[in-house]
Structure 1
Amino acid sequence: MSRESIKADLCIIGAGAAGLVTAAGAAMLGRKVVLFEAGEMGGDCLNFGCVPSKAILSAAHAAHSVRTAAKLGVKAGEPQIDFAAVMDHVRASLAAIEPNDSQARFEGLGVHVIREWAHFTSPDTVESDSANVKAKRFVIASGTRARIPSIPGLSDIPYLTNESIWQLDTLPAHLFILGAGPIGCELGQAFARLGSKVTIVEAGKALGAFEPEHVDVLRVALAADGVRLIEGTGVERFSGQAGALTAHLAGGEMITASHLLIAAGREPVTGTLGLEAAGIEADARGIVCDDKLRTANRRVYAAGDIAGKGALTHLAGWHGSVILRNLYYGLPTRQSSSPIPGCVYTSPGLAQIGLTESRAREQHGDKVSVTSWPFADNDRAIAEGDTAGSIKLVLGKGGKLLGVHVAGARADDIAALAAVTMARGGTVRDLTSPVLAYPTRGEAIKRAAGKHFEPVVFGPFAKAWAGLLSALH
């Protein structure tokens, strides 16, 4: 089969968030762009991750609101769950967003989209079944996939991943989840609230990257939803068949469930890329690249999950922006130059930006201080009857914001206030300055910041000074 020969300014492998941001920006700047994607346009986030998970979480939160409405004086009873209709909502959400990431839209921007697998054949050439592309620059944005652990018996039984779970049309009677990271906790709570029995097993600690006291708040909520969370215990082997899958835990307990979801982390997709031909290195995290996302081959950049800097859609979008700034605006931007929030969209939600307290103390020692404010002392949270959680600020020398952590309702939106401040290199003082609407949950972040200054603002010197001014006036 003869291949079309194409010369381009930029060739991109992967049409997830990183690849699409880069492709759109370069094309709008008049560059000739070729984009390869063998799977679905929009990548993991649109098709299997952020969008469908938030859609099913919305349905689950609605069910929970009905179930718990009596605490506000509204008696509704047990909600009736139509799981097929829930999944219709999930698919409708995907369909509504899909045009933004579609092949037609990007071709309208001038991008040459090729729906095939592609691989390097030399440092400056990428090839697919129908095309041979030479380009000035390349971006690898091939993403990651669910990591399937090597557990005896697992390959002999049916299991779900974050990709295949959206094909369900009937509610699992008992969903066993391997892994208590964001995916495991979000989907575990969602399916529990929709009526499944849910067991989550985690060999380490649930959500180990988040503040321990905030994870404790979520543990309480998961238990209240009927989720059984088992931590510090691994699965030694699996057995059984469809509808009756048995996990044999270390220690001897056996748990039989109707469905199994593997949520044990992610692994990079590099095997089909022909990296050796291009002189590009990869490791267990992904493609080896510097802080500007450039690989050992100076023509080639890595972006998104495959770059090994984190697995978040908004981080992938930022990577696209970093590459565009460096290539086409002459702005020497590093991918680490902007703080990146991480969120878990459970109820209560978790959000964090920057360092945890333990990491901050490892790096900055006794210069670190901590201040916090509970939602139990926030008027909006009290009025909503949902006071779980708190805001925690981790501060360095001069009040520098090293980390901001939120557990509670709308944690993701509240963390945005801190993200703006941290992106500008602000300090805790900057969080005390804005006048925020009352009553809002966002006030809690200002209260936490203000608490840091209480010993000075209301201390002995301040009292003496106030007394002097009072006498003078």
Structure 2
Amino acid sequence: MTKKISADICIIGAGSGGLSVAYGASQLGKKVVLLEKGKMGGDCLNYGCVPSKAILAAGKTAQTMRDAAKYGVTPVEPSVDFRNVHNHIHSVIAAIEPHDSVERYEGLGVNVIKEAGRFISKNEVQAGESVIKAKFFVIATGSSAFIPPIEGLGDVPFLTNEVIFDLTEQPEHLIIIGGGPIGLEMSQAHRRLGSNVTVLEGSTILSKDDPELVEVVRENLTREGVDLREGAKVSSVSGQAGDITVNFEKDGVEQSIQGTHILIATGRKANLDGLDLEKAGIEYSPRGIKVDQKLRTTNKRVYGAGDITGGRQFTHVAGYHASLIIQHMLFKSPFVKNGEQNAPWVTYVDPELAHVGMTEEMAKAAGEKYSVARWSFDDNDRAQAEHATNGRVKAIIGKGGKVLGCSIVGKNAGDLINPWALAVANGLKIRAFTNMIAPYPTLGEVNKRVAGAYYTPTLFSGKTRTLIKTLSIFD
């Protein structure tokens, strides 16, 4: 029997974006229905950010044991119990799960229905035996691994981010198709834990990042034994579990490689299937649903949040979208404008690679007048103390000293990028960095030092020396 439910807001998807809207709206007294057909917490908690950082932490611990000699400690080759690595990953997920659980959200007054939602009209969604009629809807169904049309792939067992963290036995030789953030993070984690790893990338690794800083990542991965093969275009796969052959073309030569496991890391696709968006008058493409600057779809009563909108696919962007939706939907703010172009991104390899705003290539393409300021980690005392000198900061400074963007490669780059994200989002000038006093000795000093490097050519120029000489008359 169909159950009729009336609500202020119906949210489809309980990932970062959906949960954030549900929390905010329920706390503001709205009647909220939240639909989720899979696991609460979505991709980030269960298959993405959380488990990937957990396995990276395990790999980093193993590598620290190998590299202990530089600290005066006897190094040792770690003995890796991969089942316990699996247990570690899932214990981290379990520790965070209560925050995203059905019980927590029901305790906040949210009506959680564990069913898929599909539109049956412009203001109604069906979920199982329930039909929800709401004033507003939020689509936050996220994205999933894109599976490329590779010959033979359907006949061979392969891994994606949704299943790789369920492995309890260590891959002997992991072949990763795709050299983006997911592919590289998994390559280093598994290599450090003892697997042989080959990465096949059709173009260049981390192609959206600054090539100058990507080179630091490339060199370190290669030094640790990851077999990086760029410009390798995969044509077919064959074999069976534990014995898989991947055929590819590189530099005009047909080649093949054998491994025990394949991980597909060739990007993401928006989760559109089964939503019946046409019935709600919502325009979409394979990239995602069409939204305006206020994140409204072509049905103005329906919003989109996170990966489903076809923009930057990051958990922090989904959370940011949720805040904008709350501002516009409930506070009726006329000033809401999606500024996700200011969102930083980080690839959590070692050394980390972080970026915000414009790269040098983007500044060139936009016709910006800019200059570049750089600073190396080997000029930072804390980095020297921790043998973490393999890194640098590259800031892009526009007209009048405005910060256009910054890229950082090095230890804790994901944390060090935060002040640059603040500067880009608020239109700050580089002088904001020279004005601050950075504690010593910290890695954070590199941000102040690169700002100083921007002014160095002017400060120590002939004109400045002439000015100082003139002013000395008044001594």
TM (norm. structure 1) is 0.98
- Residue 396 of structure 1: which of 398, 422, 425 is its match? 398
Q: Counterparts in 2 of 1:170-319, with a 5 A limit?
A: 170-250=169-249, 251-319=253-321
Q: Counterparts in 2 of 1:150-169, with a 5 A limit?
A: 150-169=149-168
The superposition leaves residues 209-233 of structure 1 with CA deviations (integer Å, 9 ceiling, x where unpaired) of: 1000111100111111110011111
Contact 1:175 1:199 (C-alpha < 8 Å) held by counterparts:
yes
The superposition leaves residues 346-391 of structure 1 with CA deviations (integer Å, 9 ceiling, x where unpaired) of: 00000000111111111024x1211111112111111111211210
Q: Extract structure 1 runs of 4+ deviating beyond 4 A.
A: none
Contact 1:35 1:111 (C-alpha < 8 Å) held by counterparts:
yes
User: In the alignment, residue 402 of structure 2 is paired with which amino acid?
Assistant: K
CA distance in 2, matches of 1:460, 1:56: 54
- Residue 431 of structure 2: which of 429, 432, 435 is its match? 429
How many pairs were matched up? 471
Secondary structure of the residue aligned to 2:106 is helix
Percent same amino acid at aligned positions?
Answer: 47
The superposition leaves residues 52-87 of structure 1 with CA deviations (integer Å, 9 ceiling, x where unpaired) of: 000000010111111011122211321111111111
User: In the alignment, residue 358 of structure 1 is paired with which amino acid?
Assistant: E
CA distance in 2, matches of 1:338, 1:230: 31
CA distance in 1, matches of 2:330, 2:143: 27
User: In the alignment, residue 290 of structure 2 is paired with which amino acid?
Assistant: V
Contact 1:137 1:300 (C-alpha < 8 Å) held by counterparts:
yes
Could you say what the CA RMSD is over the residues aligned between the two structures, in angstroms? 1.1
User: In the alignment, residue 474 of structure 2 is paired with which amino acid?
Assistant: L
CA distance in 2, matches of 1:458, 1:29: 56
Q: Does 1:344 align with 2:347?
A: yes
- Residue 358 of structure 2: which of 351, 355, 358 is its match? 355
| Deviation of the 1:412 alpha carbon | 0.4
The superposition leaves residues 76-109 of structure 1 with CA deviations (integer Å, 9 ceiling, x where unpaired) of: 3211111111111100000000111001111111
User: In the alignment, residue 434 of structure 1 is paired with which amino acid?
Assistant: M
The equivalent residue for 2:328 is 326
Contact 2:357 2:421 (C-alpha < 8 Å) held by counterparts:
no
The equivalent residue for 1:94 is 93
The superposition leaves residues 156-177 of structure 1 with CA deviations (integer Å, 9 ceiling, x where unpaired) of: 0100000100110011000000
Q: Counterparts in 2 of 1:363-374, with a 5 A limit?
A: 363-365=366-368, 367-374=369-376
| Deviation of the 1:338 alpha carbon | 6.9
The superposition leaves residues 217-262 of structure 1 with CA deviations (integer Å, 9 ceiling, x where unpaired) of: 0011111111001111111100111100000112321111001100
The superposition leaves residues 109-156 of structure 1 with CA deviations (integer Å, 9 ceiling, x where unpaired) of: 111100001100011100111210111111000011100111110000
TM (norm. structure 2) is 0.97
Range that drifts further, 451-460 or 285-294? 451-460
Contact 1:338 1:423 (C-alpha < 8 Å) held by counterparts:
no
CA distance in 2, matches of 1:456, 1:354: 25
Q: Counterparts in 2 of 1:51-200, with a 5 A limit?
A: 51-200=50-199
CA distance in 2, matches of 1:62, 1:112: 42
CA distance in 1, matches of 2:309, 2:234: 30
User: In the alignment, residue 371 of structure 1 is paired with which amino acid?
Assistant: A
The equivalent residue for 1:4 is 3
5+ unaligned residues in a row in structure 2: which ranges?
A: none
